[in-house]
Amino acid sequence: MTSPRRARPVLEVVDLMTRFHTEQGVVHAVNGVSFSLTEGESMAIVGESGSGKSVTALSIMGLLVRTAGAECRGRALLDGRDLLALRPRELARVRGKEIAMIFQDPVTSLNPVLTVGRQLGEAVLHHAGASRAEARGRSVELLDLVGIPNARGRLSEYPHQFSGGQRQRIMIAMALALGPRVLIADEPTTALDVTIQAQVVELIGSLRQRLGMAVLWITHDLGLVAGLVDTVLVMYAGRIVERAAVRDLFERPLHPYTKGLLQAVPAWNDTRGGRLRTIDGRPPDLRSAPKHCAFAPRCPHALDRCWAERPPLQEADGGRASACWRWRELEGAALAREPRP
């Protein structure tokens, strides 16, 4: 489902760096992430749990300012305006209206003691200066848009009166309330069963096309992104280790970690289904900031150089990039280890 590429970037993230100063030490959650999202583009950030995907999104949205010990550096330019440099009031004006986010956990993101109508209405009123009646009408439209039946009748209900899938749809409606140009969807389906997952993904995809927004999907599920996005960013230990058009990524992954991830996807091109494999070794401890390649301890191809010097994200052909010293020689090679039974 690729859309024609328009060159204009709506969101440009430059050298984003986020750390948490905790009693157990400094957590290096995001370590110099840069990417650019063009108008109407569909892009995904994939990576294992703890790789820094949500922290990247929260940092861009300026949502870590009140988190104790959080330190955010770099730039997140929305149409050239740096979200990380805006004052809280300015940021509040941009958030929702121009850039919105669907959170990983819908249950904690809706307020349980306010009706859905009130919450949606507030999202609309807050920015648009609409009257109460207009806000109500808009709320009904939004619930219709995300496929909640009998929307008008359900405005007076509370979140617990909706199913998990419906709550996730309400979250989407709230994120879309003001017609943002960029939507960040952080694991919008993890809490849902498989059928509803597919519906929610399809819903966001079709809304993207209808409303012309750019969507940044965040997921640990590579299977989900096939057929859904134009571009994939693969994240490991708080860094982007590969960037590629989705088809290239599946056909010719350039980073050993991406190859490992693809082997762990059971059925993206295998209708018979397959055994889910995991990548050997443990995810890195982000409390240390190694000078070497963070994937080296798990990489079957690591050489002395990988332990001596961290590879930067290097541009490859066709707009791709890989943070592996050996991407050229290993192109097309499978992970060297024998697949486990």
List interacting residues with ligand ATP (CB under 6 A). 20, 22, 27, 29, 47, 49-55, 67, 104, 220, 286
User: Considering the complex, what minimum distance in angstroms separates the CB of residue 298 from ligand ATP?
Assistant: 16
Of 56 and 322, CB closest to Mg ion: 56
Please list, in sequence order, all residues whose beta carbon lies within 8 angstroms of the beta carbon of residue 85, skipping any fewer than 6 positions away: 75
User: Considering the complex, what minimum distance in angstroms separates the CB of residue 168 from ligand ATP?
Assistant: 16
Burial class (CB in 10 A: 0-12, 13-18, 19+), 229: buried
Measured from each CB, the residue nearest to Mg ion is 54
Neighbours of 184 (CB within 10 A): 26
Maximum CA extent, the chain? 67
Of 15 and 251, CB closest to ligand ATP: 15
Of 9 and 188, CB closest to ligand ATP: 188
Q: Which does 259 bind (CB under 5 to 8 A by kind): ligand ATP, Mg ion, none?
A: none
Q: Which does 239 bind (CB under 5 to 8 A by kind): Mg ion, ligand ATP, none?
A: none
Of 37 and 45, CB closest to ligand ATP: 45
Of 101 and 265, CB closest to Mg ion: 101
Q: Which does 163 bind (CB under 5 to 8 A by kind): Mg ion, ligand ATP, none?
A: none
User: Considering the complex, what minimum distance in angstroms separates the CB of residue 55 from ligand ATP?
Assistant: 3
Of 54 and 263, CB closest to Mg ion: 54
What span, in angstroms and rounded, lies between the C-alpha atoms of 270 and 259? 16
| Residues 198 and 13 sit within 8 Å (Cβ to Cβ) | no
Considering only CA atoms, which of 225, 260, 263 is closest in space to residue 244?
225
Give all strands of the β-sheet with 81-82 in edge-to-edge order. 25-38, 9-22, 70-78, 81-82
User: Considering the complex, what minimum distance in angstroms separates the CB of residue 238 from ligand ATP?
Assistant: 7
Q: Which does 67 bind (CB under 5 to 8 A by kind): Mg ion, ligand ATP, none?
A: ligand ATP
What span, in angstroms and rounded, lies between the C-alpha atoms of 191 and 107? 9
Of 57 and 143, CB closest to Mg ion: 57
Q: Which does 286 bind (CB under 5 to 8 A by kind): ligand ATP, Mg ion, none?
A: ligand ATP
Q: Which does 316 bind (CB under 5 to 8 A by kind): Mg ion, ligand ATP, none?
A: none
Residues in region 15-74 near Mg ion by CB under 5 A: 54
Q: What are phi and psi of 61, to 5 degrees?
A: -75, 0
Task: Scan for tokens 């939004």, then name that residue.
Answer: 142
Q: Which does 24 bind (CB under 5 to 8 A by kind): ligand ATP, Mg ion, none?
A: none
Of 52 and 121, CB closest to ligand ATP: 52
Burial class (CB in 10 A: 0-12, 13-18, 19+), 92: middle
Q: Which does 50 bind (CB under 5 to 8 A by kind): ligand ATP, Mg ion, none?
A: ligand ATP
Considering only CA atoms, which of 176, 181, 178, 4 is closest in space to residue 79?
181
Considering only CA atoms, which of 185, 235, 186, 187 is closest in space to residue 205?
185
Neighbours of 340 (CB within 10 A): 9
The reply on whether position 258 binds Mg ion by CB under 5 A is no
Binding site for Mg ion (CB under 5 A): 54
